[in-house]
Structure 1
Amino acid sequence: MEKKILRLLIVDDSPDDSELAVATLRKAGYMLKNQRVQDLASMQAALDKGPWDVVLSEYTLPHFGAQLALDLVKRAHLDIPFIVVTRNIRDPDLVKIMRNGAHDVVMKSQAARLAPVVERELRVAEERHQFRQMTKTLQEVENKNRAIIAGSREAIGYCQEGMHIDANKTYLEMFGYDDLSEIEGVPVLNLIEKSDHPRFKDYLRKASSQNPADPQEFLSVKKDGSHFHAELAISSIVLNGENCTQFLVTDISKRKAVENRLQYLNQHDPLTGLFNRHHFTQELTKTIERVKTVGSRSALLYLDLNEIKDINDVLGHAAGDRLLLKIARLFRDKLGESTILARFSGDEFTALLHDMSEEQIKTSVTELLSSLKETTFLEGGKVFRCDGTISVAVIDKDTESAQAVLNKAYQNCQHNRPQKTAPAPVPAPTPQATASAPPHAGGAEIPAADLHRETPVMPTAAVDWEIRLKTALEKDGFQLAYQPIVNLHGDPAEYFEVLLRLVGRHGELIHAGEFMAAAEKLGMLAAIDRWVIRQSIHSLAALHAEGRQASFFVNLCPAALKDPELLSLLQKQLSVARLKPGFIVLEADESAVMANPEASAMFMQAARRIGCRFSVDNFGNNLATLNSLREMPIDFLKISGSLIRNLSTDDLTRTSLKAIVDLAKAMEKQTIAKFVEKANDLGILWNLGFDYVQGNYFQQADSQPDYEFADETTLSSDTTSPTWVANSRR
């Protein structure tokens, strides 16, 4: 080792012996800084004075000696070589002093041994020092890593031989355990759904051969038995000297919900919920290949509605959409849930019939045609029938391709199609019949500024609105309609906007845009608001009684923001219904809020004290209102529909919406995009960061709050009939 200045403390009463030791070490190449002491007091003073590298001590001195000197070094917590240099020492004393901590004993008659012993002990002392430093550094690293793992948002667990041995808090919370003692010794397989066990075991084997293994997705199981989708990354590590496996778990349930939702929309018609043309063609190709392989028999059913175009022209596309929904439900009811159904184009439907004889196919077609002819459609005070033409193309081993069988079915359908005539109305049903079959409510509520987009249900010039509206209030002649508000990030919570309809003389539904102006002139808006609140709470309480934790967005007229009695009524109704106020979201138009911002803010604060939330509709048209709105207790901003309609074609609109969403996030307010009507818009809105979407693309406003928020997870391999717009709860 490299020689250096050696600070040497000598405990000896003989100057000559001390000088001999100094000379020996100098001869070995050491530069010395030495001091000699011979009693306890002087040694204590020397130890207090400064650091020493080596202590050389005579074993026996008058009233002092190596034993006492060694005790002083220990009490000073000095880790330095202590070497006994003596003329004579008995074997028992040598053993005793070595056991007490002396590093070696050198006889003065063997002075040549002194330098190698000192050199060795200095080297060992340096190694001990380095070991302590490394141990301290390792402990600091371990503490740091332990703190990182304990406080990490990532779920991290450790197992050995398939059993849990450690886990951080996030891991425990993710799987529903309260503390580590509950999960210690629990097999890792207990946290994986049984159907995924073979794949998980194979993944574990791969993880032992490659470190780390690529992440994989599994269906995981919590302590209470509930399931969630998780992504696992596994790696082999050494923990406390033992080989074990580290699990990094990420809950991807929300991501999977969004992926499944987008996949669902890619495969299905947004209006009817049936498969779309692209996916049906894929299924048809699979069917042809299966028929050629196993020799079974299938058939393609092709339905062309004869009068849908005329109904669209006469009654409007909203009416045509409601008819298409009715036909889709009829199709599903008659052909069964296992049949692959599709809306092939605007007025054409297709179906794949598997493993049916020719007679069974003929019977199914006959029953379907008969049901179709008997189907009536009420709109605009009149009842219409809409017939259709059906053709069947057999799929057997001689079928060439999907396109060939589709062409054959289409040509047969066109050949059998009757000459088109205008849809003939049939006599309107009696009032009793109308009452027993409530009409289907459809179409999103459209504000006054957008009335040109919707065909009026009936002329209103000659209507005595005062009588009709008073009668509706007295006899519950209004009807609520509900349109879902869907979370874009996988949250299955149910949200509906409550819309108002007036039931007409013939059972038709009149949109609020047709009569609210008259109600305002007649001073009836406050009474209508109260009716809506009472009925909304009653309807919401019924849903909660069924176990559905839905929330309602309830629209208020501008005058309501200055009506303190309305909140008293709301609080009373909530108390009677035993409904938590947080499930009610009051909504007002931005223009109404900004007409009197002080009164609006007071109204919102009072609603917040009750526990209700608040939403501002048609936000974004005038960003100058932002400074006023940012201080108000607003939970949701519903973006103006005028900014959504040109979303897919207007780059400037997308830029504006991105700025609006960023502002809303900065204000800690959630955003809702309404009037969503196209599939392309959905992906754009998701990328822009919108929280919720609403519009006819998902479902038109209906008389029942029925929408499967959590069940839109049909995978490409799943060919069962979709249920996301079906009224499955009715």
Structure 2
Amino acid sequence: MIQNDIIRLIVIEESANEAEVIFRNLRKARYPIRPRHVEDDEDLQEALSNKQEWDLIISVPQVGDLTVAQVCEMVSKSKRDIPVIVLADNNKKLFELLNAGATQVLPSDNEACLALVVGRELKNLAERRQYQQLEQVYQSTQKQNKMLLDSSRDAIAYVHEGVLIYANASYLKMFAYTSMEELDALPIMDLVTPNNQEKFKDFLREYMTTEMSEERQIELYGVKSNEQRFKLKMAVSQAIYDSKPRIQLIIHDQSWKNRDPSTGLFNGQHFLELLEEALVNARETQTRSVLFYIALDNFNRIKEQLGVGGTEPVIKNLAKVIKHISEEGGLARFSESVFTLLMTDEDGQKYARAGDIADKICNAVEESVTELENQSVVSTCSIGITRVLAAADSPQDMLNEGRAACQNAQEKGGNSFKVYEVVIQKDKQYSIQLAKLIETAIEENRLSLLYQPIVGLHGETQEFFEVLLRMVDSEGQTVPNPDLFQAAEKANLSISLDKWIIQEAINISAEHEKNGRQTYFFIKLSAQSIRDEKMIEYIGKQLNSTQLAGGNLIFEIRESIAQEQIKLTNTFINQLNKLKCKSALEHFGSALNFDTILKHLPVDYVKIDASYSKGGLLGQPENQQALEDIVKKAREFGKQLIAVSVEDADSLAVLWSSEVNLVQGNYIQEPLLMPEFDFEAD
């Protein structure tokens, strides 16, 4: 946290005047604060309960019944990292206050000391937050690395003090083991033929005593669990596994091929490569694919009946049956009793027919009979269907979806198929699952618009509405807008959402105009849309196709986005002006030196940041003064002013006297399903 960042501050003080003294002292020390005065435990609980992120608490030892110990306990229960600085008249209770959980205890009359300690605590807080972010990135990387190891075609293992501590699936398969439990704590020498063990010991000893130990290779004969010997080339290097130094072994099996030797289909490792290529295509060219996860329902019973070796003729026969139906796709024997099928879906028709394809496979498998020497074997299968979307996290992510849908079909009796449905849960996968919903929202008709009126304070009667996006999940529950747009930003889907909103708004406004009604829509734009060179062209085409005047649209740009890329934003606004469209700067006043941005951007409207009016203006003289400054600056540049998040009549009166032009908020009218509002009502 640097000193130019907005500091969100809670001050616990009995007197509002005393709290104001602290505010002035910190501003005097050039700290850009966004303060809140708290007088009791209910105020503090309310502040900690909302979604606002707080950076610092400054408190006196006790306000009424509220003590520092209670403050620290409430902060702890909120699960937030908020330093608590206590201002005390003397140091007699220093130990007691620190023991209660206070971060620092300072003399209440020392301004310089307070400014210094605030700076240090904010710096420490910033370092802790950065550490938490890095820890999250590290854990995510560890997870991804583990997934890559598990799905790697190369046989990879890690050794500590001569003992195997991890081996991936390829390594297990190469040495004919079925699980890591069989290899756990097994000396690495046991996987090398006896006559090669001394050679391997000398190699490792020399490698470990070399100061600059780069990757080295050795050729050996390995031994499988069934005593079968085979030649291998092993690459040895130093690596980190589970956050500790280990020896990494990578074995390149010269006999490795892309095909399953029994069925001639692709093997599982190659299918993962195909799946990864499909994911790249979805991200780069928006070409989706359909994944079918096909599992035999009664394979365990067949294996008990025929033995492990006896199942291969059944698998071979069913592989031919499935391949006959799915010749246009990439079919693989993914594991012992699981087939996977990948079909490119350029026009969406494969997904539309996926149920029919799965049904044919189920029927063909059920009707097929494998004739063995002494008996006939029949089976059924269950199929999970999912799409390869650009928002997917990894190939394993898509396989997990297909497997989950397949298991759902089996739980319902088997011999059927199930299409995977995205389930939104507040966990580590929340953003990814939400992005998948966004990617398919338009075709599944889960998007709609809401309309919030923007009303004139001084006789203006134009029908202004802000259009707000609404999306529901597969169960019809509304997705919170902040989560929606954050997920879209991460998955590079913001432009698609913006285009849908623009098209809908233009169509509705054009329809109104045909019926003799003039409506004006404020439309928010993402940073991705402003950077997109084709966005202006898209807006122009939509206007031309409906013959709508550009002046009916006002495009909103966040102040933070504009400040970061003033030149780009200026060019974008000038291009909008050529289409006769108007522009607005939203969240105005949230950044430092906010007035300077008006010198560079020819916007028509300024939407004042919600923090100035939210919660009421009447009892907040500081916000009123800030509001006057904003109005004055905007007036100097000839801008129309809009106050948002207006929640009470008193704030409305303050805004009217401040000469704000337009107001918006739930007090005026909550968002509507249709753009219908009486703008001429008193």
Q: TM-score, normalised by structure 2?
A: 0.37
Rg larger in 1 or in 2?
1
Q: TM-score, normalised by structure 1?
A: 0.34
